[in-house]
Amino acid sequence: MTRKRKAGAVGVLVLACLVTAGIAAAQVSGPSSTARSLAASGCQLNSAGDKIKHVVYLQFDNTHYARDNQSVASDLEQMPHLLDFLKSNGTLFTNDHTVLISHTAGGILSTQTGLYPDRHGITVSNSYYYFPPSKIPAFSSAFKYWTDKVDDTTGTNDPLPNMVTDQKVTPAPWVPFTRAGCDFGAISLANIELENTGTGPFGDMSQAFGTGSPEWNDAVASNAAPSGTAARASALTDYVGIAIHCAQGGGICASNATNVANSRPDRLLDETGGYLGYSALYGAKYVNPAICAVPGASCQTVGGLKAVNSTAGDPVTDPFGRPGFPGFDGALAKNTLGYLAQM
């Protein structure tokens, strides 16, 4: 699978405080005072006066404030509504520089971790070569789930993590928030969700669901289907690109029996202090029913499946009309922000 990004496409994560039993407090219509009180008791962000209930992070790829050519308006200058919003509602910090080597994966992962690429492992992106024992360079994508290995096929040619800090998996950005009782949802943001439908011993599907699981078998069948068909796209649509890392105590993963059945262990073996007992919902197949069950959610049913609505009111689907992840090229702002509104 080739991963591409459109300039200005948005990757989204949202940290949603809890109302009851892990239901996200962020409603499109705005939560009631009761909901806000319950949210504060579940998700403890410890802001001044307890005024911050949600943290929303938007990632714009290749969207510049400074001009590359002084006679040509910059990216943000050509997006005046966005630029005015940023300047009018906060502080726009422009004394900035890109990471080296500057590319999609390296830049996004640096903003997520606060680390330069030499400290989070993705020094060259969006792909790189590494040297196995044979000394013949081998290819690796930078886009893999957070805990994947450099060699995600056999694990022997290079056993270190793709996201590596001091020989261990780089600390995950969702951990401080889930430990604080907050659910952490994301769509189309580098390496926080499953990035591929790999079914090898260390592929994303194997790591998240286990070899031989129903989801793994779905991916095997999907990967074997003819290219350009709905069957070939189905595993990507169902399992890739969307995830919720659930709060300590279960969060939305424990809000009802369906979510409990659909959640899987959120394995982070190298986290300082340990990270046992946490769960996650991987993929739209399991995220959609969870967030669409929240009262007031903007969803609809398409082909018997729950679909999250985009900000334009259309169901977010793949190119074949199946509800779920629209593909990396289909992760337009209206789709990612539609998911954000429900998370």
Q: Compute the distance between CA of residue 306 and CA of residue 290 in angstroms, rounded to an integer.
A: 10
Question: Considering only CA atoms, which of 114, 122, 160 is closest in space to residue 142?
Answer: 122
pLDDT, tens only, 90-148:
888 887 777 888 889 999 999 999 999 999 999 999 999 999 999 999 999 999 999 99
Compute CA distances 311 → 190, 262, 316, whole Å. 22, 26, 10
- Asked if 284 and 343 count as a contact pair (C-beta separation under 8 A), the reply is no
Q: For residue 26, what pLDDT is reported?
A: 30
Cross-strand pairs, 281: 244
Question: Considering only CA atoms, which of 84, 17, 91 is closest in space to residue 55?
Answer: 17
Q: For residue 13, what pLDDT is reported?
A: 52
Q: Compute the distance between CA of residue 272 and CA of residue 312 in angstroms, rounded to an integer.
A: 42
pLDDT, tens only, 301-313:
999 999 999 999 9
pTM value surpassing 0.85: yes
Distance between start and end Cα atoms, the chain: 27
Residue 9 is inside which H or E element, if any? none
Q: Compute the distance between CA of residue 40 and CA of residue 138 in angstroms, rounded to an integer.
A: 49
Helices then strands, counting H and E runs in the chain, come out as 11, 12
pLDDT by residue for the chain (343 residues), tens digit each?
445 544 334 445 554 432 222 233 332 223 333 333 333 358 988 888 888 888 888 888 888 888 989 999 999 999 999 899 988 988 888 877 778 888 899 999 999 999 999 999 999 999 999 999 999 999 999 999 999 999 988 999 999 999 999 999 999 999 999 999 999 999 999 999 999 999 999 999 999 999 999 999 999 999 999 999 999 999 999 999 999 999 999 999 999 999 999 999 999 999 999 999 999 999 999 999 999 999 999 999 999 999 999 999 999 999 999 999 999 999 999 999 999 999 8
Cross-strand pairs, 139: 129
CB burial of residue 9 (10 Å; 0-12, 13-18, 19+): buried
